[in-house]
Structure 1
Amino acid sequence: MSDQSRSEHILELARELLDDIELSRTSAENLVLKASRLARWVGSDEIRYWLKLEMGGYNSTNETSRKYMSITGRWTDIEKNLGYWGPLAQQEAAIAAEKAKLAALRTPDSSGEWASVAIANVTNAMNQTANNISRLSAIKSRVLAQLHSFVSEVYYEKEFDSLSESIFERYKSAVDTLIAESCGEVLEKIPSVMSRLSDGDEESISQALVTCRRIIEAFADSILPPTDQTIEIGGNTLKLDASKHQNRINAYVHQHIQSQSRKQKIRQNLSNLFDRISTGVHSDVTAEEANSLFLNVYLFLGEILHIRKDT
């Protein structure tokens, strides 16, 4: 199963489980079985073991078992090791049995010296049954709350991941189109960088960063070709010849953006990015840092190209 289909499967399963819990549309046993399937994909060892307890019953020897006896309110006397050890399905069945018992109890229609005793016995039985229902229902509610918490966390995490991937994919598609339209040479270099970064060794990382620098240089040539002219920015006269790639990008930004603060941020970002890439070519850079630098280059190109598109 691919990463995408796996993620979609987890998201769909979590969504179904949330609906099952919130709409009370399936039995407790089915909920636990379904949640166990989800936990096999994404759950911690503790969550998986807890759900196993909810399917097969608790025990008094395991630390996690005793912990969830407390969390789910199963203890009747923890010091004497007494409690409701059965799985959730057993508690649900007991609730149904107690409700049936309560429905069958009737105050006797009798008189005489035994009438008060009979009425008291039935009343006590009703109260005891109602208390049992209340205690068992509390256990079920706590288990469902724990299930809901686990499933919600999985669902919203996967929903956020899916949204993030969707946002990035849309942005990537737009940037790829702009690069292809404006500077196809840059687009041709990107697969080479990705391939070398995936290798992860020192030499491949260094070569990938060299290509990143060439991408920026080719990008500068495409948006503002070299010229013998100069430009004044912030009181500084900048040359725009073939070796001044940063100057030409900054000149392009200066010509197309009105906001001084945004110009400054882009200028600083470009300078830092170029310095880090140039330094990384000649020194040890981790694979994670190299990937981050490449992604920064890509996002930087996208920002500048969107400026071009908008103007």
Structure 2
Amino acid sequence: MSQSASQEALELSSEILTDLELGRLPLSNCFMKASRLARLLGDSDTLRTFQFELEGYPSTPDGIPADIWALAEKANRVYKKKDAKTETVKERCYTNSIESLESAKATAQTRLELTELKPTSISSANPNQFVQAPMANIPERNGAQSTILEMSGRLAARRTFLYGYVLNRHNELRVSSPAENIFGSYSQTIDELLSQYIPEDLIKINSISDNISSKNPEDWANAAHTCRRLLQALADNLYPPTEDKIVGSGKNKKTVKLGPDNYINRLVCFCEENNTSGVFNALVGSHLSFIGNRLNSIFSGVQKGSHSSLTQEEAKRIIIFSYLAVGDILKLAYEAEKSVTTKAEPK
């Protein structure tokens, strides 16, 4: 979700909560506004539920379809009722729309007012005749009161369901919005550096975003592969393939491969040769080691025709680590280049 959409969703959720708390709008209108909130958040299941709340839950002569029943149960519309004849307890579901519940309550309230009990004075011209006062419409009044009580309970349940959903989304957005703002500012800096060092590979960022949003595991693997190609392009630009080098001495001596396929090693060497901070080198090197090992594992799995080893959450983690590592390396490259330029300027 974009930063502007996230901010709009946060403001909308706050507005809906105020509407519910102060009773500023009919409940049906609040559900309409909440439908927009669900749409902004991409919450398709809840959006469908809200549509049924507004239109009524469809049913057939054979009952309510299983998928719709599941939505109604999630919305707390399912209740248990004991059969008077068999004395068995069965689950029931009221399918009325919000507007029909509100209308039924308003109609019952009107009926109750029209049948209001008033004192009646009755007399007869015959002093020996006893006249009984007519019976008030007690059954009708009881029926209206029963309807009001039932509709009020169901509307209260609808209001509680809606309030809980909006409050949860509002709290989530309040937490995520500052993080999105910070990451948005950071990513803008990274994108500017990417356009400076490897502009032809910027399109890979959009490819990663499209693939990770998919529900197809093969697309998640493709997103990871794109990270691999992005890191390879960065390594080729900053530290082109060269001869292997030997580091350490004695028992600690080892050969570091710096060929075309050893892009992680080349990026680590670039960091070590351009930064004096051991903490920075250890941190970036650790990230690159994790990314490289996992990407190589995924690449090997794909060559064998297996995609099942990579989950969407793990693919997201690889993307985030890759993006942050690229940002750190690009900033280091920029500072190193800036330092060389400063030293080269005549005094």
TM-score interval (norm. to shorter): 0.5 to 0.7
Shift of residue 300, structure 1, vs aligned partner = 0.8
Q: 2:324 aligns with which of 293, 299, 308?
A: 299
- The unaligned stretches of length 5 or more in structure 2 are 123-131, 212-217, 260-264, 337-347
- Structure-1 residue corresponding to 2:231: 212
TM-score using structure 1 length? 0.58
- Structure-2 residue corresponding to 1:53: 56
Distance in 2 (CA, whole Å) between partners of 1:11 and 1:251 is: 43
**Relative to 1, partners in 2 of residues 1:77 and 1:158: Cα closer, same or farther, differing over 3 Å?**
same
Superposed CA deviations along residues 252-279 of structure 1, whole A, max 9, x for unmatched, are 5872245xxx754433322233344566
Q: 1:90 aligns with which of 95, 103, 106?
A: 103
TM-score using structure 2 length? 0.53
Shift of residue 172, structure 1, vs aligned partner = 0.3
- Structure-1 residue corresponding to 2:189: 174
**Relative to 1, partners in 2 of residues 1:38 and 1:62: Cα closer, same or farther, differing over 3 Å?**
farther
> Aligned AA for 1:212?
L
- Structure-1 residue corresponding to 2:127: none
- Structure-2 residue corresponding to 1:245: 266
Superposed CA deviations along residues 159-193 of structure 1, whole A, max 9, x for unmatched, are 6665554333212013345667xxx32x4253154
- Identity score, percent: 18
**Would the aligned equivalents of 1:58 and 1:65 in 2 still touch at CA under 8 Å?**
no
Shift of residue 194, structure 1, vs aligned partner = 3.7
Give 1:134-149 correspondences, 5 Å limit.
134-149=149-164
- The unaligned stretches of length 5 or more in structure 1 are 111-116
**Relative to 1, partners in 2 of residues 1:206 and 1:23: Cα closer, same or farther, differing over 3 Å?**
closer
- Structure-1 residue corresponding to 2:126: none
**Relative to 1, partners in 2 of residues 1:32 and 1:205: Cα closer, same or farther, differing over 3 Å?**
closer
Give 1:56-95 correspondences, 5 Å limit.
61-62=63-64, 71-72=76-77, 87-94=100-107
> Aligned AA for 1:149?
G
> Aligned AA for 2:23?
S
Distance in 2 (CA, whole Å) between partners of 1:91 and 1:58 is: 23
Distance in 2 (CA, whole Å) between partners of 1:125 and 1:195 is: 66
**Relative to 1, partners in 2 of residues 1:143 and 1:292: Cα closer, same or farther, differing over 3 Å?**
closer
Give 1:125-164 correspondences, 5 Å limit.
133-156=148-171
- Aligned Cα root-mean-square deviation (Å): 5.9
Question: Aligned to 2:56, what secondary structure does the other structure show?
Answer: helix
**Relative to 1, partners in 2 of residues 1:23 and 1:95: Cα closer, same or farther, differing over 3 Å?**
farther
- Structure-1 residue corresponding to 2:22: 23
Distance in 1 (CA, whole Å) between partners of 2:141 and 2:226 is: 80
**Relative to 1, partners in 2 of residues 1:205 and 1:303: Cα closer, same or farther, differing over 3 Å?**
closer
**Would the aligned equivalents of 1:232 and 1:238 in 2 still touch at CA under 8 Å?**
yes
Shift of residue 141, structure 1, vs aligned partner = 0.8
